Structure 1
Amino acid sequence: MGREQGWHRPARRRRPVRAGVLVAVLGLGTCLVGVAGLAVWNAQVVLQADGPVRETADGFFRDVAAGDTDRAYERLCRETRGRWSQVGFGSWMRTPPVVSGYEIVDVSVATRGGRPRGTVVVRINRDGGGSEERELSVVPEDGGWRVCGDPF
């Protein structure tokens, strides 16, 4: 009869596929955490900017409706002030039909090119009973927010 063979431990199999999948899953998880963190940061920037954008637009139209065109002019961005002199802006704002009141309808803030930019929809009431809706751009400048572009 045959000789009895002694027991021996089976050879340990290496599983390179399992290790590769584990590394891939950990890498993907790290990327997802990074993307989620970036999304949360972006949302915070946009949501925190909503209040200051509304306040800037509100202050601008409050000054315009009160006839204080000098203060309204100071709320304009550098680019818009470069197109209008303070005197020219004041004359333009006093041209009938003048703004007699306003209502902020919507405020939105989005990032474009990595910079936040606000858009405010305003219903403008004019002397004589007319009203119209306008979009107002509000941009960050010099540590605050400024009205930019043609508000009327």
Structure 2
Amino acid sequence: MTFVPPPPPAKKSNTKRILIIVAIVLVLCCGGGITGAVLLFRGVQEATGPARDVAVAYVEDIMAGDYHGAYGRLCDRVQASTSEADYTRVQTAQLKISKYEVTGTSIKQMNSTTTAVITMRLTQAETGAVMTQGFPLLKEDGEWRVCG
């Protein structure tokens, strides 16, 4: 009788272990990416929100015919160059806005001056025409003001 050695043990495949490690790494990366995106979005909203809110309030004042309120949201430079009566006369002559949509927000800081441009799509009440307009803002004494 001849002795036949047992067959060598089958090599264990590392494929399952590698796939589990890759899956864990992917889950961690995706979770980190989502968390980073949420934090970035919140940061952008906090930075742009106040400027956006002022531009929206300005347009809503104009839509409501509250030209005194809209004039109060203007920066010092514009108020110094235009009286409230002249501003009201010009606004009264403009075509009325029936609705608006904010389509863009941009904030810049240069030295100690912070500016923003809030872009809106405006729909005219009389004609239904849609136009895009940028509202420049300036931060004066810690408050955003429409400045253009």
TM-score relative to the length of structure 2: 0.65
Q: Which residue of 2 aligns with 1:53?
A: 51
- The match for 1:125 is 123
Instruction: Find the partner of 2:69 among 71, 78, 82.
Output: 71
Q: Which amino acid aligns with 1:110?
A: K
Return the offset for 1:98.
Answer: 2.1
**Structure 2: how far apart are the matches of 1:102 and 1:55?**
13
Amino acid at match of 2:102: I
Q: Secondary structure at the match of 1:97?
A: coil
The one-letter code matched in structure 2 to 1:88 is: D
| Structure 2: distance between partners of 1:96 and 1:71 | 17
Once residues 57 and 94 of structure 2 are traced to their aligned partners in structure 1, the CA distance between those partners, rounded to angstroms, is 21
Residue 142 of structure 1 is matched in structure 2 by 141
**Does 2:86 align with 1:97?**
no
Structure 1 residue 94 displacement after superposition: 1.2
What RMSD in Å do the two structures reach over aligned CA positions? 2.0
1:107 matched to 2:105? The reply is yes
Q: Structure 1: which amino acid aligns with 2:52? A: R
Is 1:85 paired with 2:91?
no
Residue identity opposite 2:53 in structure 1: E
Give the TM-score normalised by the residue count of structure 1: 0.63
How far off is 1:142 after superposition? 2.4
**1:26-45 equivalent positions in 2, closer than 5 A:** none
- Is contact 1:46–1:109 with CA below 8 Å preserved after alignment? no
Instruction: Give the one of 60, 63, 72 matched to 1:62.
Output: 60
Identity %: 29
Contact kept, 8 Å, 1:46 with 1:111, in 2: the verdict is: no
Unmatched runs of 5 consecutive residues or more in structure 1: 1-44
- Deviation, structure 1 residue 47: 6.2
Equivalent pairs counted in the alignment come to: 106
| Residue 106 of structure 1, CA deviation | 0.7
